[in-house]
Structure 1
C-alpha cells in the first residue's frame, strides 16, 4: 500500500537520520546490523521514501547517541509524516520545529518568493528585522535579539561557495517598499540593501507596482523551494502568523507556479525595479 502522507516531514526526518548516523561514525550497513534492520529500510528512511514509526526513531536515536531534543524532533516528525499537508504550529506548547524551514532553505537550489507587505527575510537588514520583530511579538528583548541574529546568519547562504549558493528570485509588492518600517532612516538603508543585493549574480529582486492591478496571488505570500538536480520534489511554503504550511503535492505546486508566472509577467524588469527602488529611497 503506497505511503500517501506528506513527503516534507519524511524528507526532513531522513536528512536528520542520515546526518546523525554519519556523525556517529556508522555506515548504513553497520547501522542496519546494529538495529536488526535491512539495509533497504535504512535507505528508505534516510531518503524519505517511507514513514517511520516512533519505535524506529527511538531505536535510531539511541544507537546514534542523539540528545533528548533531537530525539523528540525525530519522534514528532515521524508522527507527522502521514499528514496530507503538513502544518507546524508556533503556538506555545506545540512542536515548533523552528529550524525546519531553515534546513529546507539551506539545501534548496532555487528560492522564489512573493511578498506583499515586507521585505523577505534573506534580504532584510538587521535594523529592519528588529523593527518588525519588536512590533510583531511580545517576546523579551533577549529573545528578539536571538531571532534577529539567527535571521542575519541565515543570509550567509546567498554568498556561500560550497555547496553553491541558491538562486533567490524575489517579487516585492509596492507596499513592501513604501511602508517605512522602523522609520525613514531604517527603511532607506533597507532599500539600498535591496539594490546592493542585486549585484550578486544569484539574486534577482523585482517590484510589482500598484499599477499592475489584480494578480494571481492577491490573497497570500508564498515561497517555492526547488532542489538541485531535481533530487527532491519542490515545496511551497506558506506562513500565517501562528505557524507554517508545507505543500508538496504536484497540483499544489503547479498552482503556485502559475501564480508566480503571473506575478513575473506583471512585475517590473530587473533594471526597472532597481530604478524604482532608487527613486523610492530618495522619496522617503
Structure 2
C-alpha cells in the first residue's frame, strides 16, 4: 500500500540532489576541463573564431572563474579543495595561432592555460607578430605539416618560452610525433613504439624548457590500458582524453575528460556546460547518467 510513496518524480530528484549539495557550494567537487585547438578566422570543426574565443575568456574572467595551474590540478586529485568555479583551459597541438591569437587574450584577462605540444613539430627561430602572417584552416595546416612545412603553422621554441616566462601558460606533452601507433603497419608492439615516442617528447621538453610535467595528452584521444601503463611507468600520472566525463579525485587522473569547445554566437553554451559540471546535484546526476564520449582530435 505504500509502494506509491517511493515513485518520486525526476524533477523532485533533481531538487533533492541540488539541496544535498548546497553545503558544498564553496568548493569544487568536479573539475571541468575545456579543450581547444585552433583560434582562427578560418572556420573548421576544431576551430573557434577570435571573436568567440575572446568572448568566452571575457565571460570567464568577469564571472569569477579561476583558471587552475597544474600544481592546483595535482593537489585537487590528492584531496585539496578548489573554489567551486574552477576550470582548466587546455590547447592541443602547439599551433601558431595559440601564440598569435590565444596568448594576447590570456594576457588581457590574466587567465592561466595549458598547451600540449607535439614536440617534433616545434621549431627554432625568432618570435612572430600577427601582422603579415598568413592564416590557414586546420586542413591546410595538416597539409603543410605533411609537406614538411610545420614551421609555418606550428609554434617556435622562442614563442613557447615567451609564454612560459609570462607565468600564464604551462606546457605539457602531446607525444613527440602525434602518431596513432595502433594504426601503423609495424612489426613492433604499439606500446613499445609509444614508449619511445613519449621518451623523445620528455627529452625534448627538458632540453628546451628545463622541465617536463606529469601531464600527457593522448594523440587523437586514443588510449588503452597498455598505454596507460606505459605512461605511468614513465612518470605521467595525469592523462588527458577527448572523452566527455566528470573529473574528480574518486574517479582518478588516468582518464581526465574534457569539454570540446564550439563556435557559437554567444557564451550561453559555455555557461550551461560549466553550470552542469560544477553545480552540486547536476554534476552528480551527470556523473551517474552520462557515459564517456570520445571526440575526434
Q: Please, what TM-score do these two structures have when normalized by structure 1?
A: 0.30
Greater fraction of residues in helix: 1
Higher relative contact order (CA 8 A, sep 6+): 2
